[in-house]
A and B are shown apart, each in its own frame.
Chain A
Amino acid sequence: MSSEPVISVRAATATLGSRPVLRGVDLAVRRGEVVALLGANGSGKSTAVRSVIGQVPLTGGTVSLFGTDLRRFRDWARVGYVPQRTTAASGVPATVREVVSSGRLSRTKLRRPSRADRAAVDRAIELVGLADRAKDSVWALSGGQHQRVLIARALASEPELLIMDEPMAGVDLASQEVLAATLREQVAAGTTVLLVLHELGPLEPLIDRAVVLRDGCVVHDGPPPEAVGQHALPGHDHVHPHAADEPLRTGLLT
């Protein structure tokens, strides 16, 4: 049974200002898969995931989630999103639990949280190993712990699909291990994952497939590359369909 892909992106194009950032990206993620989006800064990987959740408007092409066109998709409780941020704090103190609870709003919407909702929030906090800090202000946490809070917030809705934008950025080694373990558990439970990474790092054993972007085009889609870095990407050997006669890195400097 080859089911409908959870994420399906076809010929997606997008611009930021007047600069093309995505130039015809195709991407399919099937149920239970763990897909890493790799690429240099400015390659469009962040824009690609943000277009999947409707935060960047496409100028062309289509995106569908769980077989539903993104414009008609309303079932956001099935999606857990970890934005690229270095902090879970805002202008007013908030506890770990309060921040994680906001992830449950995709299920509770405007009603009061029930006992089951509160239990789900507790579970999410426990999954990232912050149960003992649940009542602490997020202002008192380290950078890695902030990232763990953001991931717990995404898990609070018990999503089937996790979308994470650089979850390992600025995270200390101890927290990286915790995050890798959390993710392993989610994957074992059948969660589908799409994540943007700068390097594979401790998540490498979990990744089923890597998609490498360069200048807004997919240059590699297959098993994770051995070593990651500008020069080790398999995409370097491919003939680039769009940028063949343009100088390398066009678009990165504008």
Chain B
Amino acid sequence: MEFLDHAFMQRALLAAVLVGVTAPAVGIHLVQRRQALMGDGIGHVAMTGVGLGFLMSANPVWVAGLVSIAGAVLMELIRMYGRTRGDIALALLFYGGMAGGVLLTSLSPDGSNANLVSYLFGSLATVSQEDVVAICVLAAFVLAVSLGLRRQLFAVSQDEEFARVTGLPVRALNLLVAVTAAVTVTVAMRVVGLLLVSALMVVPVAAAQQLTRSFRATFAVAVLIGTAVTLAGTVTTYYQDVPPGATIVLLAIAVFVVFTALAAPLARRRARTAGAATGAYDGVRPSPGTADDVKV
């Protein structure tokens, strides 16, 4: 445990834990509404923010946060109001964000593209005291939203039309999810990097749902997986000279593979228990006509 003696390592571990908790906590809402790649899109837009930060000699974390919030809100508005060409608009936003980041960085006096790379793939060793403060504040906001409003967000992501008829402020909640996702991207960019942020929002959730039956359990297991892989990945980078973001993401994918392998035997056992309880289920679908309604 000698790695705990170093201040940079303490900062890195704190940042990693916060990311491990917040990314899946927001990601589960995105996965539920089948927008798993939204984090990736925001990550691209955030690159422009990082470049702008270099150019203005401001802390790139805050500037990237503001730019990604603007980008996420724009994406959500396109989704709400744009009908047919929404995908094209999103593509423009993604690539525009990336190109803007590279261009602004090269224009700035003290920013080089090598500097940008540390934001693209994460660079834990360079996390500063200031960064840690920013990450803590942003993580607190993300957790307040994704935990505090989990019932409301569940309803909106589950069935938007129904949620509107319950009188929930659906539009405001959708925008809040977009803002929260953008903030999470900003929190995570120093740890896993902008290009891999989305993985940490999606992969722990995908792994968890191989074994879970409820939203609640999926949430809890995903956050546990997220925390475990970010911690393990960070400690690995102390002993081995490997990039943290890539290590963390590959660990998360390894968990996904293991959980998927465990899923089939578990499902069989559950079916047997359920069959014993009701005495009727023999695994045959009642009518072929309804087969496509059974599962999405």
Contact = CB atoms under 8 A, between A and B. Distances in A.
Given A74-B167, A91-B32, A98 B295 contact: no
Interface of B: 28, 31-34, 36, 149, 151-152, 154-155, 157-159, 161-168, 205, 209, 212-218, 274, 277-278, 285-287, 289-290, 292-296
Interface in A86-129: 86-95, 98-99, 101-103, 105-106, 108-110, 113
Interface string A45-85: 00000000111000000000000000000101101010101
Interface of A: 53-55, 74, 76-77, 79, 81, 83, 85-95, 98-99, 101-103, 105-106, 108-110, 113, 132, 135-137, 139-144, 146, 153, 157, 170, 172, 174
A81 B157 CA distance: 17
Contact of A87 (B31, B286, B293): B293
9 contacts: A76-B167, A79-B165, A83-B159, A83-B161, A91-B31, A92-B28, A93-B213, A102-B154, A105-B151
Contact of B212 (A83, A93, A153, A157): A93
B214 A109 contact: no
Given A93-B209, A137-B213, A102 B155 contact: yes
B259 to A, nearest CB: 13
B296 A98 contact: no
Nearest to A82: B162
Contacts of A81: 162, 165
A99 B158 contact: yes
B188 to A, nearest CB: 20
Contacts of B158: 90, 94, 99, 102
A55 B166 CA distance: 12
A103 B166 contact: yes
Nearest to A174: B286
A143 B294 contact: yes
Interface centre among A92, A103, A108, A110 (most CB of B within 10 A): A92
Contact of B33 (A74, A91, A136): A91
A95 B166 contact: no
Contacts of A94: 154, 158, 214-215
B290 A142 contact: yes
Given A87-B293, A90-B157, 16 more contacts: A76-B165, A76-B166, A81-B165, A90-B296, A93-B214, A93-B218, A94-B154, A95-B214, A102-B159, A105-B151, A106-B166, A132-B277, A135-B213, A139-B213, A146-B293, A170-B289
B202 to A, nearest CB: 10
